[in-house]
Structure 1
Amino acid sequence: MNQQPGPVTAQTDFDVVVIGGGINGTSALRELARAGYSVLLAEAEDLGAGASGRSSRMLHCGLRYLESPKPVKNALRHPVRFVRALRMARDAMRARAELSQDETVETRAIELSFPVWRDGPFQRWQLDAGLRLLGLLGPTEPPLDRMVLDADAARAHPIGRHLRDQSRLRGMVSFREYLFEAPERLCVENVLEAEACGADIRVMTRARLRARDSDGAWRVALDGLRSSGEVRARVVLNMAGSWADDVGTFGKRLIRGTKGAHIILRLPEGFADRGIATLHRGGHPFYGLPLGQGRFYFGPTETPFEGDARQAHADQEDIAFLLAEANHLLPGLGLTIKDVEQCWAGVRPLTDDPARPMGARERRVHDLAQQGFQNVLAMTAGPVMSHRSGGRQMLREVKGRISPATQGDATGRPKVSRANHPPARFAVTHEHAPDLYAVLTRRTGAIWRGLVSREEAARVAEEVAPLFGWTEAERDAQVDAFLARQETEFCVPSDRRTEPRLSDSKQDQTPTRRD
């Protein structure tokens, strides 16, 4: 039976309505439901449809927060910023420890290497000191496995031998890092656990604040696939990410978006379970990371983004930039546009800050009472890796305002395992997949193993069609819609697939800074 378009609960009054089914919204939902609050989740698209499903897939240790060409000078000049960076690095180490050791979260350990050149922005001692500091700030398990390689050892490394400027290479600093196997699955698992505790889940349902009643409860309009109408909530959490400013008219901007694009290609065997980190020539972090099955990805870009984040995709400029930077970093690989198999892009919902045109990366909770929205809270700039602490933070915020009134089922119901069920069917019957695209991307992860053919999409569509009640025409329309979205969101733009190899002169040009 398809749970998605079925009948909805008759309940109209909730302790909390959570708007947004991304990683932070679903994490808050999970914490609230487990604590006994009656809670409803409204997601305008699909679970993990925004930044959560289009992230760089990193569970990083927090070293990037300490990256600075002149760390001592900058710490003295900007002590508040330095303390904030230390706090973010500490939180990153805690999240790394919690998630990498949780058997319910699929992560993978890799060796991440930071090359050091004579004229580079960092020295070996700086990176070594940064990793030592992280070891003091956070848990000791899992270890960082820090290694400091000299120039000869770096040149003999499977990645190091492909690096640029071999004669100017001073060494390399390597450490243990983690990647999420499927960050979009975290949203699904959060929802399933919350639902087992009584949470009401509405995907493909847009929510908007209407008015506050005399008893203090907010009326929230719902317009979606399952139902349209209105519910009431004593507290509203605006966790809509890139769309947080659309939930209401708050009198201030919450989100500043930046686009991060990535390219996927295949690299030699020595790159398996190894990655590389540096700053690109525009001055922002740049990574090359193993995706699995011989596939590797480079990214991200860092460009301001205005408009609807649903339309974000890797364009020709993004791909040319990423390929040029990959070739500048690893010229020994001789990468060409024909090596690029897939690409993707997402919009980071950073915090709007007039002093920081590219947005602030620190996670913030906004109490919108001063804007006339009592008991409405919003979260901005919460990365995937810190979602559990973000969920706990929102639970504390709610507890400080209300206690559970319409008690949810905090004891939880038995959770059905997906292990013994066909993945596509289970995505529809238990995991709230609203369409074929959701099945093939955010539930089964088929798209991350390579582009899906029309034949494969049609086979899966035929398998799930009875669960959705699709007619033959609707089934075919779903296949066409999936392939169209795949073409836009994951395929290399068609007019660049046969572009000749970048010339040496183009590879050596310094790209314009993209901020």
Structure 2
Amino acid sequence: MKLSAETRTENIDWLQNNQLDLLVIGGGITGAGIALHASAKKMAVGLIEMQDFAAGTSSRSTKLVHGGLRYLKNFEVELVANVARERAIIHHNAPHIVQPRKMLLPVYDEQDASFTDFSAEIALQLYDQLGEVSEEWRYSLITKEEVREEAPGIKEEGLLKGGLYLDYLNDDARLTISILKTAHQQGAKITNYVKAVGYLYDEENRINGVEVADKETGETFSVYARVVVNATGPWSDETRHMQKNRQESRMLPTKGVHFVVDHSRLPVKRTIYTDTGLQDHRMLFIIPRNGKTYFGTTDTPYEGDLVDPKITQEDVTYLLEAINIRFPGANLTLADIETGWSGLRPLIQPEDAKDPSDISREHEIFISEEGLVTIGGGKLTDYRLMAEDTLKTIESLLDKKFLEVDTATIHLSGGEIKAGYTFNDYCEPAIKIGVAAGLSETDARTLIDWYGTDFESVLEGLDAVKKSRLPVKDALSLQYAMQYEMALNLEDYFLRRVETLLFDYNRMRALLMPALEQMAAHYQWGEEKQQKEKEKLISAMERAHLTDLR
């Protein structure tokens, strides 16, 4: 089902001329999950996002669906149990995006270690139990020699053993887009680049809609809804402060930074989760991905531009020091970093001051006197649970029950695998279809891994891309992003519809102009618009490459 620029125009027209049951402000994974749940319940639901979908936190995470092993240190057993069980549900609904892997927890005898020889095994056993992990994927312990084999170059001093345990690889933006596409298929009216600029009120001074601005056209219009939900993550306070009555700030955004290097510089064989070695009670992820390795993250209180949280020299120094402690022979420097990204965690300010790493990742719903519903906190992995709780709140406010649904059974766009079959069962015949259409086997498999069962819709673009100067795989992907994923510009595409800008940076210069030509032809851009979009993408490339720090 197409989700194009034309769909966007149609959705905006519909939003202006119909009253909604629910309007969601925020197109990250939290808002997307709420929109999907509400539309599945046959509510009239709209969603607006002031930037591109997933442009905030939901494209800037560690790109895992994990249960939060470290939260067991803080005895957050209920949180871990809820989130750990969600991993398998999300994998079942989006097997092309969320994939199970055995990850490695090295155990060290060192000062302030998060997990000791004794506690590591207890934590891993409890983690499996809380997540109801099947026997095939249960944890196992390996020797320090086996740890060294899995992680060549890892620090050997103090190394005792390792634990292999289940968590899931993911692409955060891809998952968010798939949820939104599924919500669209269920009837939700969604649009990017539409910003909430004020609230509308009824005679009792209760919010009954939002005044919005279309950032593409500059036009403003009103959207009326019986309930408005603020699902804007780090922007939650800003969105709450637009109300007439003064609102106390509730959010404490913290910044998380990740860096990408070539896999040859950090040749780990699987995801590693380890202490930083800096005695700061922080953990470090080291993750291999498509010929690269990325690592992070920081966790520092943040004040500043929420749209573009800057990576600082302090971030670079901290993460390089940590990675070089754990891999002392790597001697990584800024010159090794190909790209990086910085995102903000939408944490809720606790009553007592704590280290940011100790603040709970539980979510919370609060309702203002004017009727605005805000959902804050939470983790990517529990987006579905956050949506369930939000919809219960909405039904209570409306004093009305809508259709009962269980979103655990709703396959996301691209994940519609027949009952009794696995994703791998789908892949083999799909590759043959791709090869018959003229793709190489490698390109067909790459597109199938990225788009899942939507691959057949991707192939429909073959005729449209015959004149493109892009490699056929990239041309098909770009065409699909414009027709089915509401990608309106090059940054939308390269940063959030595919992973090229972050994980294949060295190809970007070669792809830029052919991609610009294809997009310009599709959208009928003039020279001035083309130049503007080219400059925007180059600026995004420079930010990702940390150009101002070199």
- For residues 541 and 355 of structure 2, the distance between their equivalents in structure 1, rounded to whole angstroms, comes to 28
- For residues 196 and 501 of structure 2, the distance between their equivalents in structure 1, rounded to whole angstroms, comes to 29
| Corresponding residue of 1:512 | none
| Corresponding residue of 2:100 | 109
CA contact (8 A) 1:15 1:404 kept: no
Matches within 5 A, 1:215-226: 218-224=208-214, 225=216
| Corresponding residue of 1:146 | 139
1:260 and 2:249 matched:
no
Cα 1:368/1:142, change in 2 over 3 Å: farther
CA contact (8 A) 1:158 1:270 kept: no
Q: C-alpha displacement at 1:172, in angstroms? A: 1.8
| Corresponding residue of 2:236 | 244
Alignment match of 1:470 (pick from 525, 530, 534):
525
- For residues 167 and 203 of structure 1, the distance between their equivalents in structure 2, rounded to whole angstroms, comes to 51
CA contact (8 A) 1:154 1:172 kept: yes
Alignment match of 2:487 (pick from 430, 433, 450):
433
Matches within 5 A, 1:158-307: 158-159=150-151, 162-164=153-155, 166-180=156-170, 182-214=171-203, 218-224=208-214, 225=216, 227-249=219-241, 251-268=247-264, 271-281=268-278, 282-292=280-290, 294-307=291-304
Matches within 5 A, 1:46-61: 46-61=52-67
| Corresponding residue of 2:77 | 86
Q: TM-score, normalised by structure 1?
A: 0.84
| Corresponding residue of 1:3 | 6
Matches within 5 A, 1:93-132: 93-120=84-111, 121=113, 122-132=115-125
Alignment match of 1:381 (pick from 377, 382, 393):
377
| Corresponding residue of 1:505 | none
CA contact (8 A) 1:17 1:39 kept: yes
Secondary structure, aligned partner of 2:257: strand
CA RMSD after TM alignment: 2.7
Q: Which runs of 5+ in 2 are unaligned?
A: 404-409, 415-453, 462-475
CA contact (8 A) 1:36 1:404 kept: no
User: 4+ residue stretches of structure 1 with deviation over 6 A?
Assistant: 403-407
| Corresponding residue of 1:506 | none
CA contact (8 A) 1:258 1:302 kept: yes
Q: C-alpha displacement at 1:342, in angstroms? A: 1.1
Cα 1:285/1:406, change in 2 over 3 Å: closer
- For residues 42 and 217 of structure 1, the distance between their equivalents in structure 2, rounded to whole angstroms, comes to 17
Q: C-alpha displacement at 1:402, in angstroms? A: 2.3
Cα 1:278/1:100, change in 2 over 3 Å: farther
**Aligned residue identity for 1:383:** K
Secondary structure, aligned partner of 1:6: helix
**Aligned residue identity for 2:285:** Y
Matches within 5 A, 1:425-504: 425-451=479-505, 452-488=507-543, 490-496=544-550
Secondary structure, aligned partner of 1:247: helix
State how many pairs are aligned: 468
Matches within 5 A, 1:397-412: 397-402=393-398
CA contact (8 A) 1:288 1:296 kept: yes
Q: C-alpha displacement at 1:234, in angstroms? A: 1.0
> Per-residue displacement from partner, 1:153-184 (whole Å, max 9, x unpaired)?
444x331x5222x343222222232110x210
Q: C-alpha displacement at 1:217, in angstroms? A: 5.4
Bigger proportion of residues as helix? 2
| Corresponding residue of 1:394 | 390
CA contact (8 A) 1:261 1:313 kept: no
Stretch of structure 1 that moved more, 479-488 or 144-153: 144-153
1:66 and 2:64 matched:
no
- For residues 176 and 363 of structure 2, the distance between their equivalents in structure 1, rounded to whole angstroms, comes to 20
| Corresponding residue of 1:419 | 458
| Corresponding residue of 1:509 | none
> Per-residue displacement from partner, 1:262-308 (whole Å, max 9, x unpaired)?
1111234852334342244122121111122x211110011111122
Secondary structure, aligned partner of 1:139: coil
Q: C-alpha displacement at 1:464, in angstroms? A: 1.3
CA contact (8 A) 1:27 1:391 kept: yes
> Per-residue displacement from partner, 1:237-259 (whole Å, max 9, x unpaired)?
10011111121325111211111
**Aligned residue identity for 2:199:** R
Q: TM-score, normalised by structure 2?
A: 0.79
Q: C-alpha displacement at 1:405, in angstroms? A: 10
- For residues 473 and 59 of structure 1, the distance between their equivalents in structure 2, rounded to whole angstroms, comes to 41
Q: C-alpha displacement at 1:104, in angstroms? A: 4.7
